[in-house]
Every structure is written in structure tokens, then in C-alpha cells.
Amino acid sequence: MRKPLFVGIFAVLTVLCLGTLHAADKTIGKVFIKAMTSEVNGQQVPDVSLEESVKDMQVKSRLRRFILADHESEADFLIVVLERKGEKWKTVSATFSVKDGGSWKPVAKLSNSNSTYWTIAAGKVVEQAEKWVVANHEEK
């Protein structure tokens, strides 16, 4: 009698855990990540250090539940890296926008604190973006 009860409980717990894991793996939308540019003599010039943070954020393991969009027009969300500073403690700041019709609506300023590596700082910014989406954005 105990064995069937144990098997039944185990089966129910397994199904519940798999459902939770599946929900955690669900993607939340496409994101495009770019660096802020500066205007020099009428031309937009990229900042090399900001581009490094963009590359750090675009690593698949740091994207978490986002899918990286190849083009800004394909994205649901936009991260624009604004600043990268610090020597001992690394800080990356960015704006986070949501597509509203055909334009971008800024919804949050993202920034990490007290990271020892640029890659960690970039990952924390993406994590904040994901948390914002989960808390504030309706599913499609």
C-alpha cells in the first residue's frame, strides 16, 4: 500500500516541477541591444567601450529569457547602453524601452552596482530588463 502511494506522490511532484521549469524557460520576447552614439562633425560615431558592453550583453547565456533580434525593427524591447565607468567597481548604465506601435517608449533606466568584471555588470543590466518585463509587461 505504501509503494503505490509513494509512486503517486512522486508522479504528482514530478509533473509540478516540470511545469515550473517549463515556465522558467519560456522566452519573453526579442531584444535589440545597441550602444549610444555621439555626434562628431555631423556624423554618428560609436563609443568603442560601450560597444564592448553591448557584446557582453549579447552572449546567449546572459540574454536569459530574451531572444536576440538581428535588427532593431524586429525587436519587442530595446536596450541602449549609455555609460560604462569604473576601475575597481564596474558600472554599466542603459535605457530600456518597449515597442509602442512603431516607436520606442522608454520605461526604465537600468544600472548595476559594485561588479568586479564588465561581463558581470552587463549581465546584471540584462537581468534587470528581464525582471522589468516579467513584472510589468503583458504576455503577447
Digit-coded pLDDT (tens) for 44-101: 888 899 999 999 999 999 999 999 999 999 999 999 999 999 989 999 999 999 999 8
Give the list of residues 6+ apart from residue 67 with CB closer than 8 angstroms, or none: 27, 29, 30, 31
What are the φ and ψ backbone dihedral angles of 53, each rounded to 5 degrees? Answer: -65, -35
Architecture of domain 27-136: 2-Layer Sandwich (3.30)
CB 65 within 8 A of CB 28: yes
With 0-12 CB in 10 A as exposed, 13-18 as middle and 19+ as buried, what is 34? Answer: middle
